[in-house]
Every structure is written in structure tokens, then in C-alpha cells.
Amino acid sequence: MTYHESRFTFDNPRFQISGQWRQYPWIAYVVCMLLLLSCQAEQGNYTAVSQNGRYVYGVWKARTAKAAIKLSREIHQASTEELLQVDSLSLITSEKPMDLLPANGEATHWVRAGIPSVDVGKDLYKNVIGGNPELYHSYGFVEGASVEYQTPRLGSQPLILFEIFDMGTPENAFGVYSRDRYPQDEFEWVGSRAIISGRELNFRKGRYFIKIEGYELASQIKQGVIELAKATADQIKDPLTTPHLLTLLPSENRVPHSEKYFPSGATLKKIHRFLPEHLLEFSPNVTGCSATYLHKKSSADWMDTMTALVLRYETETEAKTAYNIYRDHLEANARTVDSTQAGGIVVKEQ
């Protein structure tokens, strides 16, 4: 279509505008807009939810029902192939967090500025304002250790805070690590993929989650943070693995670093607030994972995405109960438009 001096012409004979219509270009414009709107009528906020064995899975915020069904079908195929006991990841390193803190000199010119502190269970951040202990406890926190570091090259004040958390399992460590990572983050390889955000560096390895904060934005401090991270990563001998549940998430069009793992319904609900309350409350041992997906492979807008979510219950009976709860919730609050391959429901939400 070309536009010249408020007049529309179409190369396709199906859209030739007669001389009569040419006298009223605004009418032609309205017709074009109506055609465009009719083409976009299918687009909206679509949700698809299904159940297979012990799994309840679905797709949220899809532009079209077709996209929701396609991604849901891929998860169904993966869950059918992987209907097995999801074993826990193996452990190699089991040292106390205190024993994994870098010693003096392990990072060039950096030494401890004081005596390390140890927190066990409910003592975590007991006297620290804004420490957010509830976050770590929700992911299975067991024990932690922390210490500050300084370098004589930059004065006598502490400049780096190093914290290490024993999260009990590699799955829990991945969960808290993945909670606040985003595609646009800067990453550094330290024996694990570390997230660098502002003055902080976070990484996980084995059952440990490590958080290092530089008190100032300076290149020497950043280099010290990275060296300290590598020193601890070298002590943890576990291979870099991810929770088995994440294998159910299709790889095509998945936004890099968007995968998240939830060791409990409580942690899942804090991230995905669109889930109804009763879906997670009746089964305390539900685990889950999620990732975001581009609507188009060529898209570079990681904010314009749909979300895939997989929940794993202890028994198939619990999964069926959860699915029925969610299906009833959707039928009562949205318009049903289709069904999935597994007999699930597809709705258009507001």
C-alpha cells in the first residue's frame, strides 16, 4: 500500500479503490483501519493450563490462543517423556560456609577486615536492617558465613562484603540465584556463571549461594570481588548443574537466563502472583520452574514475552486436584476459547 496526498492505492487488484471511493479518502482510511483491527482481534492475553501425571503446566500472557497451545504442547511432550522420579542433584562439596571464605591473599592484596560471623537457622540477619532473612529461609537456608575484606592499596577501611549461604541442596541454591537474574545482566565466569549487577556479584555452585558486594564503584574493587569469587568457586568441586525439572521447559525461543526454580509453593507465589491462592496451599511439597519465551524468534524485546510454568506434585491425585481448582478458577473469571492436546483449557483473560 502506498500513500500519496491523502489518497490510497493498492497494487493488489483485490483492493482496487474505485473512483467513487477516491472522492472520499477518509472512508478508505476507515475501511483500512477496520481491516487492521479485525486482523488483530485474535490477539490478547491467553492462558493455557493442562495436567499430565504429577505435573500441572501452562502458558500465560500469550498473544494468541495458537501460541499458547503450541508451547503447551511442547511441554506436554517433554513431560510425557520425562514422567519419572525426579532425583535430587548429587553433592560433592559439603564444607561449612565458614571454611569456604577466601583466606588472606587468595585475592591479590585483599585481606579480611575482621573476624567472620556465622549465622545458623533463624539467626540469619537477626540484627541487620533490610537483610531479608525470609527470602533465604523460603529457599531452604541452613547456615551462612560472612566477612569484610580490605586492601592496603585503597586505605584501611573495609571495601567488600563477602557472604556465603548453605541452601541445603543445589536446587535451592539455583532457586535463590535465579530469582533476581535478568537477560540484560552482565555475567562473569568464576567457575560458575556469576551475575554482576551494579556493585554486587552473585553466583551459585553446589548447594551454596554466594553474594559479594563492593562498597564503591571502582575498577580495583570490582577486580577484587571477582578474584574472591573465583577463590571460593575453586573450593567447591560440584559440577555446574541445573534442577532436572527445568528439562521440561522447551528451549526454542526461550529468553536466555529467564529460567527460575521454586522449591515450594510459597517461593513460586512470590514471583508469579497471577496464580490463584488455593492452587498451591493444599500441597506443601509442590515444586516448580518457569521461563519466559519470545513471541517471535526474531524479537529482541525480552519484556514482550509469554511465560511457561511447570508444577510438580507428590502424587497424580494432588496434581489432578490442583488442575481442577485452577480450571474452575479460569472458567469463572475468563472466557474459554479452546482446549489443549492433553484436554486442558485455553482461556482469554483480561
Number of domains in the chain: 3
| pLDDT tens figures, 175-222 | 999 998 888 888 999 988 999 988 999 999 999 999 999 999 899 999
Q: Is the pLDDT of residue 313 over 60?
A: yes
One-letter amino acid at 309 equals: L
Whether residue 92 is contained in a domain is answered as: no
CA angle 306–310–316, rounded 5-degree value: 150
Residues 126 and 229 in one domain: yes
Question: d(Cα 341, Cα 178) in Å, to the nearest integer?
Answer: 31
* Contact partners, residue 152, CB within 8 Å, separation at least 6: 109
| pLDDT tens figures, 238-275 | 998 899 999 999 999 999 999 999 998 878 878 877 77
Whether residue 261 is contained in a domain is answered as: yes
Query: What's the confidence (pLDDT) of residue 85?
Result: 53
Q: What's the DSSP call for residue 254?
A: B
**From the centroid of its chain, how far is CA 94?**
27
CATH of the domain at 213: 3.40.1000
Question: d(Cα 34, Cα 13) in Å, to the nearest integer?
Answer: 19
Residues 222 and 153 in one domain: yes
Indicate yes or no: pTM above 0.85. no
- Domain termination residue (choose one: 189, 209, 235): 235
| pLDDT tens figures, 87-128 | 677 778 889 999 999 999 999 999 999 999 999 988 898 877
Query: What's the confidence (pLDDT) of residue 195?
Result: 94
Range of the domain at 214: 97-235
Question: d(Cα 81, Cα 342) in Å, to the nearest integer?
Answer: 14
Beta bridge partner(s), residue 294: 305
Query: What's the confidence (pLDDT) of residue 114?
Result: 95
CA-to-CA dists, residue 228 to 12, 151, 232, 276, 342, angstroms: 66, 12, 7, 43, 49
Whether residue 331 is contained in a domain is answered as: yes
